[in-house]
Amino acid sequence: MKKLELRLSGFGGQGLITAGIILAEAAILDGKNAVQSQSYGPEARGGASKAEVIISSEEIDYPKVGQADLCLAMSQQACDKYAGNTQPNGVLVLDSGYVKNPPEFSGKMYSVPITEIATSEVGRNIVANIVALGVIAGVTNVVTRESLETAVLDRVPPHTKDLNKKALAAGYESAKNLLQREGE
Amino acid sequence: MKKLELRLSGFGGQGLITAGIILAEAAILDGKNAVQSQSYGPEARGGASKAEVIISSEEIDYPKVGQADLCLAMSQQACDKYAGNTQPNGVLVLDSGYVKNPPEFSGKMYSVPITEIATSEVGRNIVANIVALGVIAGVTNVVTRESLETAVLDRVPPHTKDLNKKALAAGYESAKNLLQREGE
């Protein structure tokens, strides 16, 4: 892949901006270029949140994401708004705990209980964003696992490193299961 | 002001991305629109860091900052690289502890011992980014003080709220002194 555009969407407090920054920083560790951005409009005042990341092996001229190659939606509202703006052969990752009405989609769609995994396997719903990163990287290989783990541990508060490491592993595990199920 | 473009530059670990996010979130609280972005290229691997923010009362079509209206430089390297890409009648804010060779500049240039203020008045150099936000908002009024304080306190870890509040106040105080000196 030469260039990959990702959109991470949900609601405020889910840590999507942090997830976007971590993903961009992991890409840098992989020797790629990256741009991470968020646009805030009136919807931000309604509690919606969206972060975008472009990762490329070449220089990135235009920093705005159009039709994303991958869209993460961690709320029904975000899914309704952004899922349609994804490449027809792209990837949708949905938090099945929040997105009860998934859209029709021609690409690959993965419904994963992201927040539930964070709560049940790590004991903290606040690491749902890191679980999501594990899922995304696990199904796409957009960044290497080593770089992603380094980027996560560099960015989170020191006393939460273990929790976040666990969250990332849980996300990867869940991705592995999804891919295995697909292969069957 | 209809639209304002800001560039926050320095080195990794100074919290410039967080500062950019806080500034954008303060703008939203003020009822404006905002885009916050960072591009990572090879220079990121050399330790440089740069965050950009566009704040506008109207919708923001193009998210990339060209000639900034305001440039913060918290390292000599960042100053050498980015100060020249500032509007001729714009504003330069320099951390005088790091930028020993300020450039020629036709606009307004403020040299402030930002990191030193963080260390001496708050006791923690890690809040230098928040001191910088106080200085920037104090000299430009790009966001209201009320919104900025709310955005800072929303974004920082709970146990650091007091430190960050103090850092912001120190930044504002320093801006007030600069403007007073200008007026004399």
Q: What is the model's pLDDT at position A95?
A: 98
Q: Do A38 and B33 touch (CB under 8 A)?
A: no
CB contact under 8 A, A40 and B59: no
B21 and A24 within 8 Å at the Cβ level: the answer is no
CA-nearest residue to B64 within chain A is A63
Q: Are A144 and A7 in contact (CB under 8 A)?
A: no
Amino acid at position A175, single letter: A
Which residue in chain A has the smallest CA separation from B35? A39
Q: Which of A17, A28, A39 sits opposite B45 (nearest CB)?
A: A28
Check B39 against A63: CB less than 8 A apart: yes
Across all residues in chain A, what is the average pLDDT?
94
Nearest chain A alpha carbon to B45: A28
Contacts of A25 in chain B (CB under 8 A): 40
| Burial call B60-69: b when 16+ CB within 10 Å, e when fewer | beebbbeebb
The span from the CA of A53 to the CA of A64, in Å, is: 9
Q: What is the pLDDT of residues B68-95, one digit of tens each?
A: 999 999 999 999 999 999 999 999 999 9
Q: Alpha-carbon distance B9 to B62, whole Å?
A: 20
Q: Which of A44, A59, A63 is facing B28, going by the closest CB pair?
A: A44
ipTM: 0.84
Q: Are A41 and B64 inside 8 Å of each other by CB?
A: no
Measured between beta carbons, which residues in chain B are less than 8 angstroms from residue A64? Answer: 62-63
**A56 to chain B, closest Cα gap in Å:** 10
Q: What is the pLDDT of residues A70-109, one digit of tens each?
A: 999 999 999 999 999 999 999 999 999 999 999 999 999 9
Assess A34–B contact: CB distance below 8 Å, yes or no: yes
pLDDT at residue A157 greater than cutoff 90: no
- CB contact B28 to A (< 8 Å): yes
- Range with the lowest mean pLDDT among A3-12, A41-50, A125-134? A41-50
A62 vs B contacts (CB less than 8 Å)? 64
Higher pLDDT, B157 or A27: A27
Nearest to A33 among B27, B37, B40 (CB): B40
Domain-by-domain residue ranges, chain B?
3-183
Query: What are the residue ranges in chain B where pLDDT is below 50?
Result: none
Least confident of A108-112, A179-183, B134-138: A179-183
pTM: 0.90
Q: Does B175 touch chain A (CB under 8 A)?
A: no
**CA–CA separation, B24 vs A129, rounded Å?**
21
The whole-number pLDDT of residue A1 equals 63
pLDDT for B1? 63
**What pLDDT score does B157 carry?**
87
- CATH code: domain A3-183 is 3.40.920.10
Burial class, A95, CB count within 10 angstroms (exposed 0-12 / middle 13-18 / buried 19+): buried
Q: Angle between the B16-29 and B128-140 helix axes, to the nearest 10 degrees?
A: 40
% of chain A surpassing 90 pLDDT:
84
Provide the shortest C-alpha distance from residue B173 to chain A (in Å): 29
